[in-house]
Amino acid sequence: MKIVTYTDAWQQDLIDLWQACGLTRPWNDPAKDIQRKLTDNMGQLALMLDGDKLVASVMVGFDGHRGSVFYLAVLPAYQGRGCGKQLMQYCEEYLLQLGCPKLNLCVRDTNVMVLEFYQALGYEPDPVVLMGKRLIPDN
């Protein structure tokens, strides 16, 4: 397994991965999310490959105050093999190199399996309320 930086040649495979993992939503155009991420100078879209097969991905970013991770996805057939853990270690090292003091995650509260995954890596719920406002509709 190797971790590489995203290139546009992987776009459809990446969208297929996100769909296989249940990460896409009707109100978020995944192609637009990818292109938006590529404009981020303090972040990265990383892919994990098994040979020439895309098996996992993650978006990592730093806003100067906190780091964030989105779209951590591992093909179901590869889950439980350490791919997600390896990608999270990659993100933590990336953020540490930027001087990031804390990493925040957003996980749907109904996604128990993913919550347990992050808790096993040492992440804990913070006493905050996540709020959002859509500024650019994708559909």
Q: Is residue 97 one of the residues assigned to a domain?
A: yes
pTM for this entry: 0.89
Query: For residues 17 and 56, is the Cβ–Cβ distance under 8 A?
Result: yes
pLDDT of residue 138: 80
Name 63's Cβ contacts closer than 8 Å, sequence gap at least 6.
Answer: 42
Fill in the DSSP letter of residue 25: B
Q: Give the domain range for residue 69.
A: 2-120
Say how many domains are in the chain.
Answer: 1
In a domain, 87, yes or no: yes
**Span 27-48, mean pLDDT?**
92
Q: HSE of 127 in the Cβ direction (CA atoms, 13 Å)? A: 0
Q: Is 139 contained in some domain?
A: no
Using DSSP bridges, classify how beta strands 67-74 and 103-105 pair: parallel, antiparallel or unpaired.
parallel
Q: Does residue 128 belong to any structural domain of this protein?
A: no
Quick one: average pLDDT of 86-113?
A: 93
CATH number reported for the structural domain that contains residue 61 in this entry: 3.40.630.30
131 within domain boundaries: no
Give the pLDDT band of residue 40 (cuts 50, 70, 90): confident
